[in-house]
Amino acid sequence: MATEGKGDTATTATTTTSPTIPLHRQELLKWQGWGYRDSRFFINSNGLIEFSGSRYLLSGHVLPRLKDWMFSKLNASIDNYSPSVQEPNPDYIQEPILNNSFITDFQSTLGSTVQYSADMNDRLFHGHGHTLEEIWKLRNGGKFERLPDWVVWPRSHSDVEKIVRLAVKHNICLIPFGGGTSVTWALLCPTNEKRMIVSVDTSQMNKILYLDEKNLTARIQSGIIGQDLERELAKKGYCTGHEPDSMEFSSLGGWVATRASGMKKNVYGNIEDLVVHVTMVTAKGTIEKSCLGPRQSIGPDINHVIMGSEGTLGIVTEVTMKIRPLPASKKYGSIVFPDFESGVACLREVARLRSAPASIRLLDNEQFLFGQALSTDNKGMLHSLVDNMKKLYITKIKGFDINRMCAATLLFEGTTNEVNQREKFVYDIAQKYNGMPAGEENGLKGYTLTFMIAYLRDIGLDYRIVAESFETSVPWDRVIDLCRNVKKRIITECEKQGVKHPPFSSCRVTQTYDAGACVYFYFVMNYNDIRQGGDPVHIYELVEEAARDEVLANGGSLSHHHGVGKIRTKWIKQAVSDLGVGTMKSIKEYLDPDNIFGSKNLIPESDEVNEHLKAKL
C-alpha cells in the first residue's frame, strides 16, 4: 500500500519497522489489565507469587517474599479471591451511533487505504485508559456509558488530513489514540456526546521517516511506540533517550500531547527539550513551524500550544526529534540513606551542583522495604549470610534504623570516563549526607522493577486490593513536607472513610531539577471490611481527591507529566488562573470551533454545563 505522506518527498532513509503492537491490540495485550497477555503475576502451585511469560528479566521467576508482604502488610487473604470477568459482556457495549453520510463518504474516498473497524472489542479497547476506575470497570464487567463508535487506523499524515476533513464535513467527534496508556481519563468518551465518535488510532503511523545524522535529528511518525523507536534507532547506533515508564506501550504522539517526561531526562531532556519540530492536523488544517532552527524568538512557541493539548486541538502526525549516539557505557548504582530527609538533601545537593546522573530516584522507607519483598528466589546460604552481615553493619555500626532508612537508585550513561567520574562524584556527595553505596545490582533491580509495577496492580485486584499512583512536581524546600503530609493525608483520609486495614502509602522522588523535584506517590488499599455499603472505587476516589488537594496546598503542581485529562479538570482554574483557562479556551475556539476534537480534556466544562442548564430553564 503506497503511502503518500508529505514526509515521503524528503525521505532518504525510511525505515520499515516491524511494530510490536498488532492492529487489533487485544490480540497481544490484556483487555482488562496492564501489558501483555502472557505476562502476569499469579500464585503458582506452591502457593508463591510467580511472574509468567518470557518477556522480562523477572519472567518465570518466583518472588517468595511478595505474598507474605501482601498478606501481612496489607492484611490480604487468599480467600478473598476476586478474579476479573473472562470476556467483555457484549450486552454492555452500547449500540454505536453511526453517521451514515460520513460512513459512505469515508468508504468511497478512504475505504481502500485506511483500515477501520466497528468491532465491539476494538471499540472497547479504544474507549479507556488505565486508571483504577477504568480497569475496575473492565474487570467487573461494568458498562461504559459511551465508547468510540468506530476505530480508524491512518497510515500517514495525509490520511489524517483526509479523515479530519471528512470529520469536519460530517460533524464527527474525533478522539486521537496513541498507546492507550493514559491515566487521566483522557480516552474516556464524553457521555453526553451525541455525534458519532471515531477513535483515530495512530499505531500504524509507526515509521521513522528519516534520520538526519548531521543534525542528529530524526523525523518520526507520531504513532511509533517507545520500545520500537529505541530498537530501530539502536540498529543505527542512536537513541532518543526518552524513556517514560510506559515506554513499552506509549507512543510519540502521546508523549507530545501530554508533555511526557522520561526517566533519563537529566541527560537527554524531557519531551519539550527533545522536540525540534512538530506537525499537527487541526480541524482547520495543518499547523507547524517552518524552520528547524534550534531556538527561535517568534512569539509564543507554537510547539508549546501543541504540546500538552491532550487531543483537544488536533492529531500530532509527525515529529522531528533529537537523537543521540548510543552511550558507550551504562552503569547502575544505588545508595542507602539513614532516612528520607538525608536522601532528599543529597538529591538537592546533586541537583545544585548539576551533577545528576541520567537517572536518580529516591525511594522512601515504605518502598525500600517493599523492594525487599520483591526480590527473586531465596538466596544461597552464603549469600544470605553476607546479606545479614551487611544488615548488621548498617543497622548496628552505622546506626541506621530499618524503619527509617531509604535508598536511591542511579543510572549513569555516557562515555566510560564520564560515567566513572560522575559516579565517584555522586557517591562523594552521598557520603556527606551519610549515604552508603549499596551496589550496582540493587540499582539494576530497581530499574527492572519499574516495568513490573503496573503489572502488580492486577494481582492486587485479584485479591481485593486497589492501587494507584499519582505524581506532582514541587520546589525543593517543600519536598519533605509535601511527601510527609500527603502520605499522612492518605492514611487519615482512609481512616475517615472507614477503611479497616492500614493502607500502603509511599512516595519516591523520581526527577531532580534545578528548582525542584518530581514526586511520585503510591497508594495501595485493601478494601475488605470497609464500611457497609461503601464502594471501594468511590472511597478510593475520595482519598485520591483529598491527596491531590493536599498536594496543591503543599505547593505541588497539578501534574508533572501525566497531564490533566478529565480526572483533574476541576483544579485547572486554580492551577493556571481564570485567565489562563480563558486563553486555552480561545485557542481551542479558534482552531476547533465545531469541537471536532471533542474529548473534553484539559478545559473544565463547568461554564458549558451552566449554559446548558440555563438553556433548559
Partner 1 sequence: MSVFNSLEYDDLISRHRQSSDILWALKYWHHPLFDIKEQSIKSTKLINKNTQISSIITPVHYKTLPRNSEQIKSDVLNSLALKYTIETLDNEANGYEQAKAIIHEMSHRLNIRSARFLAFVFSKIFNQVYENIYINRRGMDNIYQLYSLTPINTSPTIPSSPITISSTLFAILNTFSRSSSSINSDTNLSSPLTTKHYLTSPRIIYLPTHRSYMDFIILTYVCFEYNIPMPCIAAAQDFLGLGLLANLLRNCGAFFIRRSFRSDQLYWTIFDEYVKTHLVHGDYPLEFFIEGARSRTLKTLLPVRQGMLKSCLECYFRRQIDNLILIPITINYEKVLEDNLHANELLGIPKPKESKSGLLKATQILKKSFGTMNIHFSDPIYVHDAYESFKKQEENKSNNHSDTFNRSVPRSLQPRFICQQDAFTVSEQKFSDEISYRVVNEQQRRTVIYPITIAAYSLLKSPIVTTSKDRSILIEQLVIDKNILFTENTNILEHFSSQYQISWPVENDKIILKDRLLAIYSDVFEMTRNNFLTLKMSGDRLADASILMKLIMYRNTCLHIFAKPAYILLACQVNSQFPISYEQLKTYYHFFVHLFAYEFVYDQFPMDNTNDIYFDRYLSYWITMNYLIPSDNSTYQINSNFLQQISLITSPFEQYARAYLLIYEQENLSSEKNLSILIKIYQKALLTKLDPNNIISILASSSNVISNALRTLNFTTKSKILSELRHMLTKIFQPKSTHLRAKL
- Kindly tell me which of 373 and 480 has the beta carbon lying closer to partner 1: 480
Q: Indicate the angle between helix axes 100-109 and 157-170, nearest 10 degrees.
A: 150
**Least distance (Å) between residue 555 CB and partner 1:** 4
33 labelled ligand-binding: no
Q: CB of 270: closest distance to partner 1 in angstroms?
A: 22
Q: Under a CB-based contact definition with an 8 Å cutoff, are residues 412 and 330 in contact?
A: yes
Cβ neighbors of 496 (< 8 A, separation 6 or more) are: none
Residue 295: CB atoms within 10 A of its CB come to: 6
Distance between start and end Cα atoms, the chain: 54
**CB atoms near residue 45 (< 10 Å):** 6
Minimum separation from the CB atom of position 264 to partner 1 (A): 24
Look at the block and give the residue holding cell 513551524.
Answer: 289
Which residues lie below 8 Å from residue 398, measured CB to CB, with a gap of 6+?
338, 434, 436
Based on the residue annotation, tell me whether 520 is a catalytic residue of this protein: yes
Which residue, 245 or 366, is less far from partner 1 as judged by CB?
A: 366
Instruction: Put the strands of the sheet holding 504-512 in their side by side order.
Output: 436-437, 329-337, 406-414, 359-363, 504-512, 516-526, 465-475
C-beta of 88 vs 338, nearer to partner 1: 338
156 is in an annotated binding site: no
Given the complex with partner 1, which of 1 and 579 has the nearer CB atom?
A: 579
Single-letter code of the amino acid located at 474: V
Residues in the chain: 617
Q: Taking a C-beta distance cutoff of 8 angstroms, is the pair 468, 130 a contact?
A: no
**Is 93 or 575 the residue whose CB approaches partner 1 more closely?**
575
Q: Is 110 annotated as a binding residue?
A: no
| Nine-digit cell string for 376 | 527473586
Reduced to 3 states (helix: H, G, I; strand: E, B; else coil), residue 37 is coil
CB closer to partner 1 out of 66 and 547: 547
Residues in contact with partner 1 by the rule CB under 8 A = 338-339, 341-342, 344-345, 348-349, 396-399, 403-404, 432-434, 476-482, 484-485, 487-489, 491-492, 495, 502-503, 550, 552-556, 577-579
Q: Is 48 annotated as a binding residue?
A: no
Residue number with CB closer to partner 1 (58 or 507) = 507
| 399 CA to centre of own chain | 38
Q: Is 182 known to sit in a ligand binding site?
A: yes
Residue 317 is labelled as binding a ligand: no
**Other C-beta atoms lying within 10 Å of the C-beta of residue 393:** 12
460 marked as part of a ligand binding site: no
Residue with smaller CB distance to partner 1, 253 or 516: 516
Q: Which three cell numbers stand for residue 349?
A: 545537593
Where residue 387 falls (left for φ over 0; alpha for ψ -120 to 50; beta otherwise) is alpha
Q: Shortest gap between Cβ of 70 and partner 1 (angstroms)? A: 16
261 is in an annotated binding site: yes
Tell whether residue 316 is among the known ligand binding residues.
yes
Minimum CB distance to partner 1, residue 368 (Å)? 13
Alpha helix positions (H), 236-300: 252-258, 265-268, 271-274
Helix (H) or strand (E) holding 278, with range, is strand 275-282
Find the shortest distance in angstroms from Cβ 606 to partner 1: 12
Count of beta carbons in the 10 Å neighbourhood of residue 477: 12
Give the integer Cα–Cα distance in Å for 429 and 442.
19
CB 430 within 8 A of CB 343: no
Q: In angstroms, give the least distance from the CB of 549 to partner 1.
A: 8
In angstroms, the CA 572 to CA 310 distance is 14
Distance between CA atoms of 173 and 600, rounded to whole angstroms?
11
HSE-CB of 43 using CA atoms within 13 angstroms: 16
Q: How far apart are CA 57 and CA 372, in angstroms?
A: 17
Tell me the closest approach of the beta carbon of residue 319 to partner 1, in angstroms.
33
Handedness of CA 71, 73, 75, 80 (dihedral sign): negative
With respect to partner 1, which residue has the nearer C-beta, 59 or 485?
A: 485
Q: Annotated catalytic residue: which of 520, 522, 527, 540? A: 520
Q: Dihedrals φ, ψ of 188, to 5°?
A: -65, 140
| 315 is annotated as contributing to ligand binding | yes
17 is in an annotated binding site: no
Q: How far is the CB of 399 from partner 1 (least distance, A)?
A: 3
Cα separation, 142 vs 127, whole angstroms: 13
Binding residues: 176-182, 258-261, 310-316, 457
Residues with a known catalytic role? 520
Binding site listing for substrate: 457
